[in-house]
Amino acid sequence: MRDEIYQRELGWMELVARAFSVFFQNIKEILFVMLVVFLPVSLLDSIILTRLNAINSFLTTVQTAGTILENEKGITQALYQTISGSLLSMAIALFLVPVGTIAIAKMAKQRIDGEVPDVKTALKDALTLEPTIIVAGIISGVLTTLGMFIIIPGIWLSVFWALYLYCIGLGGRKDWDSLRHSGELVRGRWWRTLGYMIALSCIASLWDLVIAAILAFVEIGIGKHFIVVFIENFASYLSRAFAFIGMALLFINRESQYLGWQLFGEKKNEELNFAE
């Protein structure tokens, strides 16, 4: 596997196949990251989502009953809580989830390089990158969100910067440079990168659908209880772990071609440019 990833550019179907292999080889380490990082993240997500669902039910009831003026104060508080909850959810996605993402990516690279994955060191290294994650995450989040108002630029940026976390965690890039370098790795391969991302999302979604189908029977008995929301969130992060590995392999493969890395990741002195 390492020979192929470092020596030639792989198609996205080849990368998907190798992502499955690395995922199952690292499953114990991934489960450790799930417990340390994504368990508390899932709890926070579930609390926020449960509160937002309650607010939505309140607003729907008020609107249906036609008692908007009588509940003006409650509506104001509900809107405030919706905004604060949405911002907190965005902060979790930008600043906490990347720690687990980078840790999983580092272990994927260790596996490819023939090393035994060291989950504790990977997590420690990912935490030390938090300042860079925050700066790059804010820049990416703000510009992508602004771009979404025009739709096409937002979609273009989200794909163009899809590899910025891996540029930080595996490539040693900082702040804006991580976004710039992600763009360099995607340039000339935007559609190919989008297709690969869609393939990973579809595979992860299949896992989510299986979990949702199982939990549907539980919901019949207890409704959309907090524990149901939590299980859904936690399970979704396991499926996303597969996507994280898939994107890590894409980065490693693109980076090896860009930098002209030799086998085992040894850099050449000169950077090689991608053909447009």
pLDDT score for 103 = 93
pLDDT in tens, the chain (276 residues): 667 787 777 887 888 889 999 999 999 999 999 999 989 888 888 888 777 777 777 667 766 766 665 666 777 777 777 777 777 777 788 888 899 999 999 999 998 888 888 889 999 999 898 888 888 888 887 777 776 666 667 788 888 889 999 999 998 888 889 989 999 999 889 899 998 999 998 888 888 788 777 777 666 555 566 777 788 888 888 888 999 999 999 999 888 887 765 433 444 434 444 444
Gyration radius (Cα) of the chain, Å: 21
For tokens 């936690």, the residue is 234
Angle at 7 between CA 4 and CA 8, to 5 degrees: 75
Written as one letter, the residue type at 162 is A
pLDDT score for 145 = 73
For residue 95, how many other CB atoms are within 10 A of its CB? 15
- pTM here is 0.81
Residues 100 and 40: their CA atoms lie apart, in Å, by: 11
Residue 214 has phi, psi (to 5 degrees) of -65, -45
